[in-house]
Structure 1
Amino acid sequence: MIIVLKAEATKHDADEILNKIESAGLKPLYMPGTERTVLGALGDERVLQGLNITAHPMVDDVKPILSNYKLVSRELYPADSVVHIGSVPFGGEHFSIIGGPCAVEGLESFRASAEAAVKGGAVALRGGAFKPRTSPYSFQGGGKEALEVMQQVSKELGVPAVTEVMDTADIDLICQHVDALQIGARNMQNFNLLKAVGRTNTPVILKRGIAATIEETLLAAEYIVDAGNPNVILCERGIRTFETATRNTLDLNAVALMKRKSHLPVIVDPSHGTGIRELVGPLAKAAVAVGADGVIIEVHHEPKEALSDGKQSLYPDQFAQLMTELDAFIRAAGRRSSLRKAA
């Protein structure tokens, strides 16, 4: 439930109610505002009702949280959350671009692709060190060596880096080398992994599963936030439908709806959402129009030589051109562009 205190309520009054909530075995939440203090209580509704919170003289109103996802819901936090990857903001008035190759293929290759991404305007780098592949015979990533490459190039270029985590055993190692963790579509409902990244303070990009509903996606985010990590960025990357002309069907409906239902930032992956290089640009622009807080785009210095996802990776000049065009859309939408060259 949401507990709105009266304007004259003090911190002592809030603590009194929070202690009552906690002593009942429930989860208390303290959310001071400029005009009113709002408290939250999460747990068994029968226990909540038995606390008789409305009887406290400093309580102005008590409202139930109707959605199944409590912590990520706008019912609890009406304002947009801003999540930082390194110094780069995602959410609120900001629109930020992550760019880089699908996989880290070696120092020189990753450096070349990363330089192209940053030169084009990306403010954060992407790259896979551990790769979930449908076939066991496909390139699986460079592991720790790839993480070291990402860390080196990230420091050289002065931008934060993001990579995917697939196993709870790798979390500490990955957190030592990069600035944000990515939960891929295949692991969106790997609940042990979600809880484990929730016990870190490292920002998490949570990708929607290929057959996940919007509510399932938000509940997956709830696992992370409930475990203690509020730094979650949702990512729409396309879902599997009957259509076979594209790799996935990029569901931009979901972006607008998740922005309405949740305070968390939402970014879009038009590379995986389409699987076709020529469609990445139009869908990135559409992402701005529906209210996304950023995009994550695959760019490779030589896509035809890429070990994975070369077909959907942009050439450096294509990426730079798209960033120039995208900046106009960002500004037209009234957002603050985080493009490096536009700063």
Structure 2
Amino acid sequence: MKKQLDISSDLSWLSKGNRPAIISGPCSAETEEQVISTATSLAATGKVDVLRAGIWKPRTRPNSFEGVGEEGLKWIKAAGKETGLPVSTEVANAKHTEEALKHGVDILWIGARTTVNPFSVQEIADALNGVDIPVMVKNPLNPDLELWIGALERINQAGIKRLAAIHRGFSSFEKTSYRNVPKWEFPIELKRRFPELPIICDPSHISGNRDLLGMIAQKALDLEMDGLMIESHMSPDSAWSDAKQQVTPATLNRLLSELIVRSKTTENQEFMSRLDELRHQIDEIDEEIFQKLGNRMKIAVEIGKYKRDNQVTILQVSRWDTIIKQRKSLASALGLSEEFTEKLLRIIHKESISQQTKIMNESPLVKS
């Protein structure tokens, strides 16, 4: 049975209109003046729905700036009063949660380093039991969808019905152009399982670089995400944390103006008719693909039997190397990317080995 989250259909806490929600503010609250001046400039754009600022900063290494602490809660509330906008901050434990609630913070979010630990999430959930406040949950550091869902469920079970997920990408040992690799398939699968759950994209933490913000934000909107969380600072280059990924309110205003917000549906019947035709073609091709894959695996099973009966190993490295080279050349000629081709071949090869392994573990038929 498909699991559901008990979520309120009223999303007015997140966005005041039909457009995507915009959450913005400095990575860290540094001074009262910095918080209020940034918030005032953001509010003046008319495009920001929620103000954000980090009060407690869970840093990777000690002796880094770890936030101003409880004093900063007064600053962000003052900024909210000045602008008329709700304010949000990150909490990582029960004490943070209690202090944020005491100061009247409007929306809480749970960061990636906390989501990864069910004990910490449950501690926050217990502190929220009986409290009516919206909560947003970032994906865990590692690409584990069940861990993300588990954190959402824990908060939901505490009685929080105004709930959202934040996609901020995943840590990777490999060096890429991203600070955190987006792995878009994860928020897509989360939306498939829980279509009622709002998903916000955090381009700032995915990019780690302000030059990539627009591209990532547009991609998120094209994947039907419900909003964006983008860090903004009056003087980004002098920010006390994550300087490279923050933008001024003026730059944010331009970035948002350049984004294309496409409709999820249309009443254009000609468009819908043609779309249905194309989708039908895809359905037919997919059926052919799976039939071919099924036939391929039947042949792999026969090969497995032949190898077993002749005491030959499953893996033939030279054959696998030939397949990789030949298929990549063919795929390239057909306009398919090398990355996609290699991933697909590895998945098919893994299944082929799995099928042959089953055969290898069986006793050969005794010939009469």
- Please, what TM-score do these two structures have when normalized by structure 1? 0.70
Residues of 2 paired with 1:243 and 1:84: CA distance? Answer: 40
Structure 2 residue 111 is matched with structure 1 residue 181: no
Where does structure 1 differ by over 4 angstroms across 4 or more consecutive aligned residues? 331-335
Secondary structure of 2:164's aligned partner: strand
Task: State the 1:315 CA deviation.
Answer: 2.3
Residues of 1 paired with 2:212 and 2:251: CA distance? Answer: 12
Secondary structure of 1:205's aligned partner: strand
In the alignment, what sits opposite 1:136?
Answer: 62
In the alignment, what sits opposite 1:208?
Answer: 139
Confirm or deny: 8 A CA contact 2:25 2:52 kept in the other structure: yes
Structure 2 residue 127 is matched with structure 1 residue 226: no
Task: State the 1:81 CA deviation.
Answer: 3.8
In the alignment, what sits opposite 1:36?
Answer: none
Residues of 1 paired with 2:148 and 2:56: CA distance? Answer: 22
In the alignment, what sits opposite 1:11?
Answer: none
| 1:103 paired residue among 9, 14, 28 | 28
Deviations 1:281-339 (A, max 9, x none): 1101111000100010001110111000110001232211011112xx2254569xxxx
Deviations 1:80-110 (A, max 9, x none): 944443x7359xx552000110001111111
How many residues get paired? 258
Residues of 1 paired with 2:236 and 2:121: CA distance? Answer: 34
Of stretches 254-263 and 142-151 in structure 1, the one that deviates more from structure 2 is 254-263
Residues of 1 paired with 2:127 and 2:76: CA distance? Answer: 20
Confirm or deny: 8 A CA contact 2:93 2:121 kept in the other structure: no
Secondary structure of 2:70's aligned partner: helix
Question: What is the identity, as a one-letter code, of the residue corresponding to 2:109?
Answer: Q
CA 1:139/1:322 → structure 2, altered by over 3 Å: closer, same or farther? Answer: same
Residues of 2 paired with 1:89 and 1:252: CA distance? Answer: 26
Secondary structure of 2:132's aligned partner: coil
Residues of 2 paired with 1:95 and 1:270: CA distance? Answer: 14
Confirm or deny: 8 A CA contact 1:225 1:232 kept in the other structure: yes
Residues of 1 paired with 2:216 and 2:264: CA distance? Answer: 15
CA 1:235/1:132 → structure 2, altered by over 3 Å: closer, same or farther? Answer: same
Larger RCO (CA within 8 A; separation ≥ 6): 1
CA 1:128/1:244 → structure 2, altered by over 3 Å: closer, same or farther? Answer: same
Question: What is the identity, as a one-letter code, of the residue corresponding to 1:257?
Answer: E
In the alignment, what sits opposite 1:322?
Answer: 255
Secondary structure of 1:187's aligned partner: helix
In the alignment, what sits opposite 1:172?
Answer: 98
Structure 2 residue 20 is matched with structure 1 residue 117: no
Residues of 1 paired with 2:4 and 2:156: CA distance? Answer: 7
Question: What is the identity, as a one-letter code, of the residue corresponding to 1:149?
Answer: W
Q: Which runs of 5+ in 1 are unaligned?
A: 1-64, 336-343
CA 1:193/1:280 → structure 2, altered by over 3 Å: closer, same or farther? Answer: farther
Q: How does 1:19-58 map to 2 (within 5 A)?
A: none
In the alignment, what sits opposite 2:343?
Answer: none
In the alignment, what sits opposite 1:298?
Answer: 231
CA 1:212/1:82 → structure 2, altered by over 3 Å: closer, same or farther? Answer: farther
Deviations 1:50-76 (A, max 9, x none): xxxxxxxxxxxxxxx24xxx342xxx8
Residues of 2 paired with 1:81 and 1:241: CA distance? Answer: 35
CA 1:291/1:241 → structure 2, altered by over 3 Å: closer, same or farther? Answer: same
| 2:86 paired residue among 146, 160, 177 | 160
Residues of 2 paired with 1:191 and 1:282: CA distance? Answer: 32
| 2:77 paired residue among 123, 148, 151 | 151
Structure 2 residue 213 is matched with structure 1 residue 280: yes
Q: How does 1:184-263 map to 2 (within 5 A)?
A: 184-188=111-115, 189=117, 190-196=120-126, 198-199=128-129, 200-245=131-176, 246-262=178-194, 263=196
Of stretches 284-293 and 166-175 in structure 1, the one that deviates more from structure 2 is 166-175
Confirm or deny: 8 A CA contact 2:93 2:124 kept in the other structure: no
Which structure carries more strand by proportion? 1
Of stretches 251-260 and 104-113 in structure 1, the one that deviates more from structure 2 is 251-260
CA 1:81/1:257 → structure 2, altered by over 3 Å: closer, same or farther? Answer: farther
Task: State the 1:173 CA deviation.
Answer: 2.0
Residues of 2 paired with 1:117 and 1:201: CA distance? Answer: 27
Of stretches 168-177 and 306-315 in structure 1, the one that deviates more from structure 2 is 168-177
- Please, what TM-score do these two structures have when normalized by structure 2? 0.66
Confirm or deny: 8 A CA contact 2:51 2:80 kept in the other structure: yes
Secondary structure of 1:283's aligned partner: helix
Secondary structure of 2:20's aligned partner: strand
Question: What is the identity, as a one-letter code, of the residue corresponding to 1:179?
Answer: D
Secondary structure of 1:330's aligned partner: coil
Instruction: Give the greater-gyration-radius structure (CA).
Output: 2
Aligned-pair identity (%): 33
Question: What is the identity, as a one-letter code, of the residue corresponding to 1:287?
Answer: A
Residues of 2 paired with 1:278 and 1:334: CA distance? Answer: 31
Question: What is the identity, as a one-letter code, of the residue corresponding to 1:259?
Answer: K
Secondary structure of 2:261's aligned partner: helix
Question: What is the identity, as a one-letter code, of the residue corresponding to 1:185?
Answer: A
Deviations 1:13-57 (A, max 9, x none): xxxxxxxxxxxxxxxxxxxxxxxxxxxxxxxxxxxxxxxxxxxxx
Question: What is the identity, as a one-letter code, of the residue corresponding to 1:108?
Answer: E
Question: What is the identity, as a one-letter code, of the residue corresponding to 2:234?
Answer: H
Confirm or deny: 8 A CA contact 1:124 1:160 kept in the other structure: yes
